[in-house]
Every structure is written in structure tokens, then in C-alpha cells.
Amino acid sequence: MNKNYDVVIAGGGAVGAACAYFLSREKDLKIALVDFKKPGNASRASAGGLWAIGESVGLGCGVIFFKTLSKQINEAKANGEEAPRMHPHQLPDFFFDFALSSNNMFPALHEELREKHNIDFKFQETGLKFVMYDEHDRAYADQIASGIPHLSDQVNWLDADQLREEEPYVSPEAIGAMNFTCDHQVSPFLLIDSYTEGARQNGVDLYLNTMVTGVETEGNRVVGVRTDKGTLSCNTMINAGGAWSSQICEWATGEKIPVYPVKGQIVLSEKLPKIMRGCISTSDCYIAQKDNGEVLIGSTTEEKGYDTTNTLAELKGLAQGASKCLPILKEMNIKRTWAGLRPGTRDEIPILGPMDGIEGYINANGHFRTGILCSAITGKLIDEIVRGKETTLDLKPFLYDPKRFEDLDPPFYG
Amino acid sequence: MLDRKADITPIGESQIQIYIDDVPVKVAEGETVLSAMYAVQKNKIMQNDYKANLGAYCGMGICHSCLVKIDGKYKQRSCKTLIRDGMRVTTMSNRFNDMGLSETAPSVTSADFIKDAAAPASQSESEESNVN
Amino acid sequence: MSTNNQNVVIVGGGAAGISAAAQLAELGIKSRIIDEATKLGGVVYRGPLRHTEELPHLDEFYQKSQKSLQDKYHNNKDKIDVQLETSVVGPDGTDGLIISDQQKLENVKYDYLILSTGCHERSIPFPGWTLPGIMMMGGVQLQIKSGLVRPGEKMALCGTGPLLPLIACQLHKGGVEVEGVYEASSFSKLAKEAVALLNKPMLTLNGLSMMSYLKRNNVPFHYGWGIVKAEGKEAVESVTVAPYDKEWKADLSKARKANVDSIGIGYGFVARTQITQLLNLEHEYSYQSSYVPKLDEFHRASKDNVYVAGDTSGILGSDGAAFEGQIAAFDIALRMGVIDASTHSSRVNKARKGLQRVKNFRFGFDRFSERQLGMLDLPDDDTVICRCENIKKSQIDAAFERGVKDITSLKMATRAGLGDCQGKVCSAYCYDRFKQAGHQEKMGQLRARFPIEPITFAMMED
């Protein structure tokens, strides 16, 4: 094989494919995208939610933890014991900016991919409602709202009647909802297909079903990416390896960046008529009805290495959570379940940009729960980095720095 | 009463019956709903979510094409379900149709855009496909 | 050594499952058979589901075989626990299964597991294949043998192999007008296998007598002919058949149309590997049977305490299944310390000899009926390939044109295989497309997912 490229992208999931697409738009660089779909790769497993505020404030996994903690606190108070410390889970402001910037790119991106490349990734403006059942949920919602005063125009509150009006199938037990009006959804695999096909039409060489097996360096510079089909020489490589990024980084730099697999299980219903207007998050799970009518429920947060088996206890938790929120689901079939491996980092912030001591290597990984959402801004930033332009957002907090991962509180999700 | 015309051997005196689309049909203990439908020469069994008429295909629970509504429950495989006295079977029933909803648009999949995409790809310099 | 505490669970109560259970019972070992049907015997030997005075349409040979299998169970009932109308929906950890009776879920633990889940038929798409009234031949047989009803009044049978004349006879005896029987392979090809068939003279004689029955009753039997398309408005009304060349490509210039109200299609079988996949066993591609689990000589799978016997391990029919069930049983008995190594060796070898004779016979038919890829030309652009998701052939073609090389990418690009049946029906065609395109090596496997039988959300309550 042995071809020469300006840029080789290792990994063709949401982030890698987005990088390929954004880099390819000017049609001036020789680019290769190398992809091998390993079992559990997050892009295919994803729900496809663009939940910029939701994920930034720790809905989903966060609220489940909070609910347990809140219960412990009340029990402790009742017993006259000392209450455990609360960890309000909100990501830093620069992450909000990152997520919201990406979110804002989607309408134009959707248009562009449709006009220029005739592909539709089913962008749907749904909003995301945090449905509340009790005072614990309301306390949590209040805490979230108080943490994002600058985004108050994106948040509205629905009382029980208003909720029922908008979402007639939501359980009568619900007392209301907090709605994030800018949080929407896409079809995750159509998104990746769109980026990939757009890139291909722009001249990017696709190496699909091709595994990256190593990186060639000369001194402290990357000169090529090894694959099971031969070596692709390049000036720059992008590590978009998802849950497998750590190994790729080690091949390139000798150092392992701390990106590790975080398993999430999903339950999917049979195709159903439209029973939800928007996406929903509760203290048990999130629920999204996709464009083809299937209702997707997720997720869990488990550190089980690269294991992607489904486990009944976890699936039951998700299914029960969904039935509680939408009782109509009780008689519906579960069509299938799966598990994906999110590329996790201890501080829950992605790792982007170059690394000290190595030339021709750029990180684009560690996107944890927001790979789909942040693929767009990542693609844009990586394009700017490769071309030496000033970046749209300050890269500093995203650069790899071992100090980021020191002295962290124990992982939020256990 | 719908007559059983396609029995290979007679079912004999039967005290039990089911309703197929509100019409009573005599049935025999132990037989499946599908056999009862075949006995009265009904092979058009369901309409799927895409409005295609379907009937039993594999006869053993694999193909999901013999689905009927039984006692209010949708998508029951008639080939695997035994009759019960008084059972109400509805053929050609589909949750989408019954909820009064219009046909959901077929999903556009990524494979659909290849026909138009072929044009721009041929303008690239390389003569070979850029998919490896 | 006490075996009372060790659980042997057998999934599938057909020829392999019952043989295994009976063999274990003869050695004093208890087992539990779980089967999704309402009676034991599997698709082949379940027999009538309702009461009947007689079975005029089922020949003696079959009735004898059926009784013999049922007797195996009855003579060992005290050591065989049977749970019917129960399906396995997935694994439970490393040594258990989750089972469903359509009302609730339960767990069952095992020390040894025998998967004898049989096979289902290979679906071949052609224009009109989804019309009501078109059934695969196993389904036709189930209606005749177990349902005791005629699935149609005027039927054409299109397929290949020994089931064709058998079902034609059963249908005719049951009162169906058999419009014609269309065997895809040529007679000269069958004649070449005459030597192989002599491995099982009784079966061969039975086959000859079936052919002469059909001839006596003026049921047309055509070699080297096959399905082209089916037509009809609400249900099937006509079948079009044509001569097939040796690649099974239809010569449309000689096509003939006949009015029928029912068609039986039978071009082969596919091993039922949903449970073996969910257990993460290693599989390998088999052109004949689609993916099959990798097994050692004792039918042990890549997971130490799991055995696979019968058609799930590769299509050999019920005779082969019985021997395989026995082999698995002997191996488990050895590991439990109930028999010693030399008994194990001699009895396994005996079963292997029987199995080899079956194979020698079957391989004759397998070569004769080997599927040819000419049938891939039958569907046109609008023919539905994945019925569950309404995916047409043109969409599959587009994905191939775009460079898709593995089944998971095909699934993602087209949604074929993402429907209610989890790809059981359409994957066979998709694998053949990959083979035709030269990607057989790396095409991968369409993975089964929990639950392999649909369950309701309500069933997930505690």
C-alpha cells in the first residue's frame, strides 16, 4: 500500500469522521480515514442525543446518583447522624461553551450535508425534558437551574398539566418537568455516515474494516500510521480512537493517555407510533424515540474493561425506569439491547490538541458521553489546529496534561 | 360460524371455539391459532408497519409474519400460540393503523444517497475508488 | 461420585435433545429439557398437536421413527425433567440462562449445557416472496404433521433435496392438489450420488417409493427447475417457474406460470445460533448451514461446559442429531465421573461410526442439493429483502456499491437485520451476497441480541 498523506485519522467514529469531513471541505489536503469497528464502539451504540445542557449538568447518571445520595441524607437526618457530603455535578464553564458551541453548529451542518452531499442525519428539534416524580427530583432540578443562570432562556418549567399536554403518554405520577429547549437529537449512525460520505465525496480516502496496528515515528515526529493493510505515511495523525485511544497514543508517543472504556447498556423497543414529542430524562434513565419509531432507553455507567455483555439486573433497571415514565411501554416489546463503550476520562473532559514532545500527533478523543454532540466542534477545532489557525475556543483546558487527572474527587458514578 | 374446510383428519365433536375477526370457529384442544386459521382457509394474516399483507412463512416462530392480535394483545405469533376457549383473534390488525396514525415515512438510510453521490466522486483526480 | 448436585440443562427437545437426555438417563444422570413448543420431538417429530384417530398422510417410516423417539423419552421419564412452552431469551452471567414463558422471566443455572436448538429454513427472496400463502417447506410440514390441516388447496413445491418428494407425498395424501414439484438440481446430478445414497438403503428405498407414489398419482416432478416469482393481489395466486442451469440461474425464456393458492419453498437450512452467539461461543462460517459454533470431537464448544448437538452444529438431519446427542451425553458422563475413560472411548466411537454412516449418506444429498448462487439474480430492485424493516434489494445494492464489506456495516447502512426477527430471515441472503462479492472471509456475523425472543417491558418488572 504505502501511500503518502498530509493527514491520517485513526478512528472513524463520530469524532474521526467529523475531523475527516471538516478537514476535507477545502479539498486541498490528502487525507486518509482509517476505521475498524471494534465491538462496543460508542458511535454505533449511541442514543444520538444532542443534550448540550443535559449532559453538562449531569442528567442521566448524575441524577440517579443524586437521588440515592439525597435519600441517604434524609435518612441520616432522620437518625440524627451526620449527612454525607453532596457533590453537585456540573461540568466546568468551558465545557458548557464547548458543548453549546457544538450544539449550535448542528442546524447549519445538517443543511450543508443535505445540500452539498445529499445526506440527511435526521436532525430533530425535540428539546430534553427532565421529568420529575417527587421532591428529590425537584430539588435536583432546582440545583441544576441555579447553576446555569446564564442559560435561563434555554430552560423552561412545565407543571403537571403542561407536561401532560405536551407529553400525553407520560405517567400521571409525574409532577412536572424542567425543559431544555436547545437539546435535540440525531440518528447517530446516519450522522457518522454523513460525515464519512461527505468526506469521501470531498476526496478523502476511506480505509474501512482496517485496523490501526501501530505508529511510525522518526525521532520525536510521527511519520506514518501502520495498519493491517500496510503503512500510510503522513505529516500529521489524529488520534480519534475512542475507547481505544490510549493504545494508539502509546504507539505514537510512548505514553498512555488516561482514556478508558465506560460501558453503557441500552434497551430498544419495537417500532412504535409516536408516543413522545421530545427526549426525556428521569431519575432512572433517559428515553428518546428515534425517527423510525423505536424508543431507545439508556443507560448505565460501568467500568468493566472492554466487556460489552448485557446484564439482566441493569437492563431491568432501565426497562422499569422507562415503564414508570411511559406506562404505555408495559405492553410493548423490547426488540433488542446492546452495550457501548464510551471513551471515558477521569475529569470527564475530552482530550484535544497536540502533546508535548511529539510532532505530527493530535489528540481528538476522550469524549465520554458527548461524542455525538461534540463531534462538530471537535472537527472544526482539529481543522483549525492542523492548518495552524487560531482556534474558535481556547484549547488549553482540553490539552493533555497529567495534572488534569491528579487530585480528583472519586469518580462521580462509582 | 366459519366452517373448517381444510382439516386433513376431522377434529370430531368440539365444545370449544375461538373468534376469528368476531366470527366463531370450532377448534380442537392443543392446536395452534395458525392451524385454526388454515382450517378455515385464512392465509392472509397480518399487515405490517409498512402496510404489506403477510401470512405465515416459516411456521415456527422465526419470521414474525404470522402476527395477530389476541385478546387485545398485539403481535402474537399465531404459529406458536395455542387456542383457548373463547379466545378473540383479530387478523390484519396493526397498532399503527389502529391508533389512527398515518403511515410513518420510510426511513431514509445512508444507502439511498449513493445514486446522486456517484457524480461528484467521479470528478476526483484519482481514477480508483477512494474506498479501500 | 454423586451427580445429584450437578445440573444438566438441554435446550431443545428434538432428536438431539431427547437422545442426549435418554442417554444420560440410561447412565443414571438427570437432566432438564427446555423446549419452546407444546410437545417434545422438535419440528420433525413433534407429531400431531391435537387429537386425531389416524394419520393417513404420514407414512409408516415416519410414524415408526417418531414413536421410537417418543419412547426414548417415555422410558426415561423419571430422570428427564421437561419444561415446555419456554424459550431461552439470553444468558444469565456465565452459568445460567434467562427463560421466558411469555408471562414472566426466570433464571435457570447449569453445570453442563447442551444446546440442541435445531435449525430453521433458509429464506430465498424472489419477487412476491412475502405474499400470504407462501411458506417454507418446514412450515408446510408442521401444518400437515402437527396441525393436521392443509395450508392450501393447490400448491406448488419449489426447492431441493429429499424433503421435496416427502412433502409432496404428504400433501397429496392429505388432499392437496400438488400442481408440481420443482427440484432445482438436475437428475444427472442426483444419479452421481447413487453410491452415497446406498449408505442408508432403507432411506433410499423409501425415497424411491415416494417417487413412484408421485408418479402413480400424476404429480409432476421436474428436475432442474425452480422458482422465478410469485404473483397475486391480496395473497398468492400464481407461481412462475423456469428451468435452472447448473448455477441455478433461471432461463426466463422458458418460464411457465401456473395458478396456485399456496407455494412451499425449500432451498436449505440455517443453524439456529442465537443462543450460541449470545453465549459468546466461537463460530465459523459454513456455506451450507450459515454460521455454526466451533466444536471439538465431543461436540464441546469454545466454552468449557457447553455442548452443541444436532442441526445447530451443522445440518445433518435427525439421524445425525441423535448420535451427536449421545456423544455429548457420554462426554458429560465422563466428566461427571459416571463412566470411565475406556467406556467413554468405546461408546463414543460406536456413536461416531453411526454418525459417519449418516454423514456419508447425507453428503450425497448435500452435494446434490448444494445451493447455487444463480438464485441471487431472482429479486428485482423493488423486491423486499428485509421484510421486518421493509428494505429493498436496491438499498442493499447501493450499500455494496458504496463499498460495504461486512454485515455489520450493511446492517447499519441499510437497517437490514435490525427488525423484529433480528435478521434470522434476511441474513442468509446477505451472507450469500458477500460471498458473491468475494468478502466471505471478513464479512463477520450478524449478532443476536438479548432478548432473542421478544419480551414485553412488563416482563422486566421484579
Distance (Å, whole) CA C344 – CA C321: 19
Cis peptide before A84 (omega within 30 of 0): no
List of chain B residues whose C-beta atoms are within 8 Å of the C-beta of residue C139: 56-60, 79
Distance in Å, alpha carbon of A374 to nearest chain B alpha carbon = 21
Tens of pLDDT, residues A156-206:
999 999 999 999 999 999 999 999 999 999 999 899 999 999 999 999 999
Q: What residues are paired with A80 via a beta bridge?
A: none
Q: What residues are paired with C259 via a beta bridge?
A: C238
Tens of pLDDT, residues A78-97:
888 876 655 556 788 899 99
Task: Give the Å distances, CA to CA, from A142 to A135, A279, C256, C267.
Answer: 10, 20, 74, 64
Tens of pLDDT, residues B30-40:
999 999 999 99
Q: What percent of chain C has pLDDT over 70?
A: 99
Among A337-341, B96-100, C328-332, which is the least confidently predicted range? Answer: B96-100
B117:A118 CB<8 A: yes
Residue with cell 375461538: B18
List of chain C residues whose C-beta atoms are within 8 Å of the C-beta of residue B131: 402-403
| pLDDT for residue C184 is more than 80 | yes
Query: Nearest residue of A to residue B119 by CA position?
Result: A201
Say if C152 is an interface residue toward chain B (CB within 8 Å): yes
Residue type, A384: E
pLDDT of residue C45: 92
pLDDT of residue C316: 92
Residue type, C360: N
Band of the pLDDT at C196, cuts 50, 70, 90? Answer: confident
Helix axes A14-24, A371-386, angle to 10 degrees: 40
Rounded average pLDDT over A232-243: 97
| pLDDT for residue B99 is more than 70 | no
B95:A331 CB<8 A: no
List of chain A residues whose C-beta atoms are within 8 Å of the C-beta of residue B74: 331
- Given A311, A312, A331, which is nearest C456 (Cβ)? A331
Interfacial B residues in 16-35 facing A (CB < 8 Å)? none
Q: Is residue A91 within 8 Å of residue A348, measured between CB atoms?
A: yes
Tens of pLDDT, residues C9-38:
999 999 999 999 999 999 999 999 999 999
Say if A230 is an interface residue toward chain B (CB within 8 Å): no
In chain C, what are the domains? Answer: 8-120+270-339 (3.50.50.60), 123-267 (3.50.50.60), 379-442 (1.10.10)
Chains that touch A (3 or more CB pairs under 8 A): B, C
DSSP-derived secondary structure for C395-432: HHHHHHHTT--SHHHHHHHH-TT-STTTTTTTHHHHHH
pLDDT of residue B110: 31
Rounded average pLDDT over A325-331: 95
Q: What percent of chain B has pLDDT over 90?
A: 64
Residue C394 CA neighbour count, 13 Å, CB half: 10
- Given A197, A201, A274, which is nearest B110 (Cβ)? A197
Rounded average pLDDT over A224-248: 97
List of chain C residues whose C-beta atoms are within 8 Å of the C-beta of residue B44: 132-133, 234-235
Give the single-character DSSP code of C288: T
Q: A84 or C98: whose pLDDT is higher?
A: C98
Band of the pLDDT at A130, cuts 50, 70, 90? Answer: very high
Distance (Å, whole) CA C337 – CA B21: 58
In chain B, what are the domains? Answer: 1-96 (3.10.20.440)
Task: Give the Å distances, CA to CA, from C453 to A338, A377, C26.
Answer: 15, 41, 33
Which of C131, C146, C149 to mutate to probe the B interface, most B CBs <10 Å?
Answer: C149
Distance (Å, whole) CA A263 – CA A341: 5
- The distance in angstroms from the start CA to the end CA of chain A is 46
Provide the b/e sequence for A313-351 (b: ≥16 CB within 10 Å): ebbbbbbbbbbbbbbebbebbbbbbbbbbbbbbbbbbbb
pLDDT of residue A351: 98
Q: CB-based burial of residue C239 (10 Å sphere; 0-12 exposed, 13-18 middle, 19+ buried)?
A: buried
List of chain C residues whose C-beta atoms are within 8 Å of the C-beta of residue B63: 123, 387, 421, 424-425
Interfacial B residues in 36-75 facing C (CB < 8 Å)? 38-39, 41, 43-45, 48-50, 52-65, 75
- Given C98, C412, C449, which is nearest A336 (Cβ)? C449
Rounded average pLDDT over A342-356: 95
Give the single-character DSSP code of B61: S
Which grid cell is B47?
Answer: 399487515
Q: Is residue B105 within 8 Å of residue A107, measured between CB atoms?
A: no
List of chain C residues whose C-beta atoms are within 8 Å of the C-beta of residue B49: 390
- Given A37, A312, A330, which is nearest C458 (Cβ)? A330
Tens of pLDDT, residues C275-321:
999 999 999 999 999 999 999 999 999 999 999 999 999 999 999 99
Q: What residues are paired with A222 via a beta bridge?
A: A217
Give the single-character DSSP code of C142: I
What is the SS3 string spanning chain A? CCEEEEEEEECCCHHHHHHHHHHHCCCCCCEEEECCCCCCEHHHHCCCEECHHHHHCCCCHHHHHHHHHHHHHHHHHHCCCCCCCCCCCCCCHHHHHHHHHHHHHHHHHHHHHHHHHCCCCCCECCCEEEEECCHHHHHHHHHHHHHCHHHHHHEEEEEHHHHHHHCCCCCCCCCEEEEECCCEECCHHHHHHHHHHHHHHCCCEEECCCCEEEEEEECCEEEEEEEECEEEEEEEEEECCHHHHHHHHHHHHCCCCCCEEEEEEEEEEEECCCCCCCEEECCCCEEEECCCCEEEEECCCECECECCCCCHHHHHHHHHHHHHHCHHHHHCEEEEEEEEEEEECCCCCCEEEECCCCECEEEEECCCCCHHHHHHHHHHHHHHHHCCCCCCCCCHHHCCCHHHHCCCCCCCCC
| pLDDT for residue C200 is more than 80 | no
Distance in Å, alpha carbon of B11 to nearest chain C alpha carbon = 7
Say if B122 is an interface residue toward chain A (CB within 8 Å): no
Residue A46 CA neighbour count, 13 Å, CB half: 30
How many CB pairs lie under 8 A apart between chains B and C?
Answer: 172
ipTM higher than 0.95?
A: no
Sign of CA pseudo-dihedral B45, B50, B52, B58: negative
Rounded average pLDDT over C248-253: 97
| Strand (E) or helix (H) holding B125 | none
Distance (Å, whole) CA B64 – CA B45: 11
Chains that touch B (3 or more CB pairs under 8 A): A, C
Rounded average pLDDT over A376-405: 96
A274:B101 CB<8 A: yes
Collapsed DSSP state (helix, strand, coil) of residue C221: strand
pLDDT of residue A88: 54
Rounded average pLDDT over A304-322: 95
Rounded average pLDDT over C180-200: 85
C384:B53 CB<8 A: no
- Given A118, A189, A203, which is nearest B124 (Cβ)? A203
Say if C395 is an interface residue toward chain B (CB within 8 Å): yes
- Given C406, C413, C457, which is nearest A330 (Cβ)? C457
Which of B8, B47, B70, B112 to mutate to probe the C interface, most C CBs <10 Å?
Answer: B8
| A293: region left, alpha or beta (phi > 0 left; psi from -120 to 50 alpha) | left
Among A61-75, A135-149, A202-216, C84-98, which is the least confidently predicted range? Answer: A61-75
Collapsed DSSP state (helix, strand, coil) of residue C12: coil
Tens of pLDDT, residues C36-63:
999 999 998 999 999 888 888 887 878 8
Report the 10 Å Cβ neighbour count for C149. Answer: 27
Q: Mean pLDDT across chain A, nearest whole number?
A: 91
Task: Give the Å distances, CA to CA, from A138 to A133, A157, C364.
Answer: 8, 11, 72
Say if C393 is an interface residue toward chain B (CB within 8 Å): no
pTM value is 0.91
Say if B13 is an interface residue toward chain A (CB within 8 Å): no
Q: Mean pLDDT across chain C, nearest whole number?
A: 94
Q: Is residue C310 within 8 Å of residue C18, measured between CB atoms?
A: no
Over its C-alpha atoms, chain C yields an Rg (Å, rounded) of 22
Q: How far is CA A315 from the centre of its chain?
A: 20
| Strand (E) or helix (H) holding C308 | strand C306-308
Q: Is residue B2 within 8 Å of residue B24, measured between CB atoms?
A: yes
Rounded average pLDDT over B80-98: 91
Provide the b/e sequence for B79-100 (b: ≥16 CB within 10 Å): bbbbbeeebebbbbbbbbeeee
pLDDT of residue A72: 72
